[in-house]
Structure 1
Amino acid sequence: MKNIAVILSGCGVFDGAEIHEAVLTLLAIRQAGASYQCFAPDKSQLHVVNHLTGDVDETASRNVLTESARIARGDIKPVTECDVDEFDAIILPGGFGAAKNLCTFAVDGDQSRPDAEVLAVCKAFAEARKPAGYACIAPALAASVYPQGVKLTIGNDEATATGINAMGAEHVNCDVDDVVIDNEHKLVTTPAYMLAQDILEANAGLTKMVKSVLAMK
């Protein structure tokens, strides 16, 4: 049975991991006959968003690992404990947390800086030639992980794609139910809720991403 490391970025689309994407990814992994272990950085979120109103709560502070534990039902570890030798692949669901807590793309665009601990883990998988899947906006982080020219997608948003290209990646437009595969770097990306208007649309691409990652040798 293949074992997959999953990195989460909080809990909630506007300031953490996109919950539907995270759960659908975990479900797809298990339905494909693989197992998973969730990880997250143990640090404060960039900010906390009221998901009912969309407003930032300037007085609140939440921890990325603690919030991610909500999705993982408590079975989660600090990202520093992710040992590449124990896993066959790594997958990162999206949500704004991927661009706010795992890197600074949401704030800094093409000057984005990855979280050092997350980058170390993701680079370890890349350098070990182990497959990886990045969904939604998470490919903005992948642009900092992989060499210049790596092919990836966030869908078809021109401004976001331009920022990612400026970081050295090669963005490829992609439909919501499809994936972009860079076989040279063993990277699979899918737009998910960068394009999805419905949970079924998100599920189609995420499931294809998981299956493509697991099929890589």
Structure 2
Amino acid sequence: MASQKRVGVVLSGCGFLDGAEIHEAVCTLLSLDRRGVKLVATAPDVEQLHVVDHVKGAPADGERRRVLVEAARIVRGQITPLSAVSGRDLDALVFPGGFGAAKNLCSFAVEGRAMRVLPEVERIVREVRGAGRPMGFICIAPVIAARLLGPEGVKVTIGNDRDTAAAIESWGARHVDCKVEDAVVDERLKIASTPAYMLGPWIAPVATGIDKLVSAVLEMA
């Protein structure tokens, strides 16, 4: 009998404007859980770029929150600091999106093409890549794959946003337009991506695309 696969899910907070997109995160966790994997939810223990009031859609002055603490809300407290997770111990790794992926896991939201990836995030991506294991990147998170694996010519999608696609290709990666219900798979590098809420418009089509991504990731694991 095959051993249970261990799949890491890297969260970037809680709430699409300043952390992980909650629908994407839950759809990812549900899709993985239904396939019987061992979930390893994780997040970096760093301060968020800022806190956004999700009613007003604007930054909340004076508030400060930590990514790990906020991400723990999504997984009922069952979360591990990213610093304590080794990519070599995982069979696969998935990054849900949300602005937190572009604000807390990397600096794309602020620096665009000059973006930097959080060192802990870069470490785990390179460990998983070095072990030849698959990864999935959802919504805006594929910019992380493109920035780190662009020199290898990784193929990803963020949907069809021209400016983001141009940034992705500026790093040597290849962008492929994709519908929300579909996923793009780079079988050579074992990378899957799906647009999710880069296109929306709501939960059902986003969930369909994420389920296809999860299926593709586990088939490569």
Does TM-score exceed 0.5, indicating one fold?
A: yes
Which residue does the alignment assign to 1:87?
90
Give the drift of 1:72: 1.2
Residue aligned with 2:76, SS: coil
Normalising by structure 2, we get a TM-score of: 0.96
Work out whether residues 126 and 146 of structure 1, in 8 Å CA contact, stay in contact via their aligned partners in 2: no
String of CA shifts for 1:60-119, please: whole Å, max 9, x gaps. 110000000000110101101112232100000000000000000011111110000111
Whole-Å separation in 2 of the counterparts to 1:188 and 1:2: 17
Q: Does 1:32 align with 2:35?
A: yes
Q: Does 1:173 align with 2:188?
A: no
Whole-Å separation in 1 of the counterparts to 2:119 and 2:195: 25
In structure 2, stretches of 5+ residues that fail to align are none
> What letter corresponds to residue 181 of structure 2 in structure 1?
D
Which residue does the alignment assign to 1:213?
217
Residue aligned with 1:4, SS: strand
Choose 77-86 or 48-57, whichever is displaced more. 77-86
Give the drift of 1:17: 0.1
Within the candidate set 159, 164, 167, 2:168 is matched to 164
For 1:23-62, list aligned pairs within 5 A: 23-62=26-65
Work out whether residues 126 and 145 of structure 1, in 8 Å CA contact, stay in contact via their aligned partners in 2: no
Whole-Å separation in 1 of the counterparts to 2:112 and 2:170: 9
Runs of 4+ in 1 over 6 A off after TM superposition: none
Residue aligned with 1:71, SS: coil
Whole-Å separation in 1 of the counterparts to 2:190 and 2:120: 21
Normalising by structure 1, we get a TM-score of: 0.98
Whole-Å separation in 1 of the counterparts to 2:98 and 2:53: 15
CA-based RMSD: 0.9
Aligned length: 217
Which residue does the alignment assign to 1:72?
75
Compared CA separation, residues 163 and 147, structure 1 to 2 (3 A): closer
Which residue does the alignment assign to 1:183?
187
Which residue does the alignment assign to 2:118?
115
Whole-Å separation in 1 of the counterparts to 2:194 and 2:154: 14
Whole-Å separation in 1 of the counterparts to 2:141 and 2:115: 12
Whole-Å separation in 2 of the counterparts to 1:174 and 1:52: 30
Give the drift of 1:159: 1.0
Q: Does 1:143 align with 2:146?
A: yes
Give the drift of 1:147: 4.0
Whole-Å separation in 2 of the counterparts to 1:53 and 1:163: 29
In structure 1, stretches of 5+ residues that fail to align are none
Which residue does the alignment assign to 1:99?
102
Residue aligned with 2:7, SS: strand
Which residue does the alignment assign to 1:124?
127
